[in-house]
Amino acid sequence: MKKILLMGLGCGMLIACNETPKENETKSEIKTETTAKAPQFFGEKITEDGAVPTDSVKSMMGDQMELPCKLSGKIDAVCQKKGCWMELKNADGTTMRVTFKDYGFFMPKDASGLTAIVDGIAKIEETSIADLKEYAKDDGKSADDIAKITEPQRELVFEAKGVILK
């Protein structure tokens, strides 16, 4: 009786682990890890139309402190606590911090390396020491690196109302 039960369980496991397509599914419809992902939208639904590289924003701003615009760039880092900010990398190696309007949406924590199209407002702001330390902490920086932050930083930042990840 035990042999029959074990044999039945073994057959059941083999059938359950079989990777055959379902009745209405063809082999071309079976998703693989190499299949390209569709763009993901966060916040307001935006389009890619008119997006310029992040490097362009400084020259576009001139003497202005704020500029509504749409940018495109590679994601260099994402807040590992909640996904509440990300950094887009410029061609010169610098980054621009992107936050999200009214703290209304977040990015996936594993979005580094993806391309982001962001629509919103570029701003020149002074980031406080407390905020800089919090960003460093969220980014997983060491206590020594965080302790080295002793002055506020005037920087170009971006507040996105909508994001497309590709």
pTM of full prediction above 0.95: no
Task: Identify the pLDDT of residue 26.
Answer: 40
pLDDT band for position 22 (cuts 50, 70, 90) = very low
Per-residue exposure over 132-144, b if at least 16 CB sit within 10 Å of its own CB, e if not:
bbbbbbbbeeeee
Please check the confidence at residue 71 and state whether its pLDDT lies above 80. yes
User: What is the set of domains in the chain, with CATH numbers?
Assistant: 39-165 (2.40.50.140)
Q: Which residues pair with 165 in a beta bridge?
A: 40, 116
Three-class SS state of 116 = strand
- HEC profile for 21-75? CCCCCCHHHCCCCCCCCCCEEEECCCCCCCCEEHHHHHHHHCCCCEEEEEEEEEE
pLDDT band for position 7 (cuts 50, 70, 90) = low
CA–CA dist 163, 142 (Å, integer): 30
| pLDDT (tens digit per residue) in 37-65 | 799 999 999 999 999 999 999 899 999 99
Average pLDDT over residues 144-153: 91
Distances (CA, A) of 83 to 10, 50, 119, 124, 134: 44, 26, 17, 22, 13
Please check the confidence at residue 110 and state whether its pLDDT lies above 50. yes
Distances (CA, A) of 15 to 108, 120, 139, 164: 36, 52, 45, 41
